[in-house]
Structure 1
Amino acid sequence: MPDFLLYAQHGWADHNYKISCLGQTLATPDALVVAPNLGWWNTWWKIAPLIQTVETIAIANFEQYPHTPIRIVGHSMGGLIWLEILNRYPQWWKNVHSLVLVGSPVGGSKLAKILDPLAIAIGADLAINRMAIAEKIAFHIKTLSIAGDINGISDGTVTIASTQFSHGKFKVLKGINHPRLKNHSLVARAILDFWAEL
């Protein structure tokens, strides 16, 4: 039986290698790291099938380890995927030790609207404001939101403001851009410090 299940989910225009490395850094020797690779190309289209893929894996793991604590770390869109899943399964909340959103555009991504103005692909999904969902979940689950800051406004991709919401803890890491957030030593340190407080 694992100490805990650690879900480490990559985001848009990415694959799972670096977020998996972050997961391994955070895990104990007896933890099980689950870092689904959604496929770089797949992340450009719609979020629904990506949510379905992660949800299917989570359901299978929940059935196999129904009493094992769950820790979740999602980078960028990976955090949004987990917000959607947790919103669907409030019965899982009692098993979730913590949720960490790393550079996740919870309030909606302005860049997504620019890149996909006709909302043909992933842009419409990334532009959705999920603040109400995040606040509801953070009221029940210990939640940390980490933002990068390279210019006082954003990490170069996601605005700092879009990562902030009520009931969760918030941490800004200066000098770290969006891609580096997925596997940076300061991100790992912030997560470990957060866990140590719980």
Structure 2
Amino acid sequence: MVDREQLRDWVREQHAGQLIKYTDNPYFEHLEYVAEKAENKALLAYEIGLCHDLFEETKISAGQLMVVLTSFGYGEAEVVHITDSVTELTDKFTKKAYPNLSKIERKRREAERLIHISPDAQTVKYGDLIYNINWVLQYESTRKKEKYLRKKQALLGKMTKGDPGLRYEALELIRQAENVNSV
């Protein structure tokens, strides 16, 4: 029997002490939002959403995640699917991995990579983008907002394999923000 609550609590524990930038809110709120936004839109999207930043924001490895998921009752195929999707959602073109590439080039390559990830991982990424777009609209300067929205609109234009409803929601958020900014 799968215990999603145990997974939820464990992920919260892994991110303990982390805060959402510019707020006093626990980082787990972001993960929970993404998980709930993607839930029922793709296979195991809730679990993938909860775990999507584990490899970037904690010291948890893919092997450790597999052991934990198994201990919470997930079957082998589920464990592999969740772990593979989280791996797909983990930035590859980091400064540490590619110190000789400029930040612009790393971001360009990362965006290109995301175009080719699986539909389930893209679906969760749409939920992540929806959260991040809302956050940027609330907390960033106008110049940063405009630049961010342009980049994400271009990414969503090419990242088309995930849930169409969530993709539309992300694009619509950008469109609405642009209308507000042009008034």
With the length of structure 1 as denominator, give the TM-score of the two structures. 0.37
Higher strand share: 1
Larger C-alpha radius of gyration, 1 or 2? 2
TM, length-normalised to structure 2: 0.39
Instruction: Determine which structure has the larger helix proportion and give its number.
Output: 2
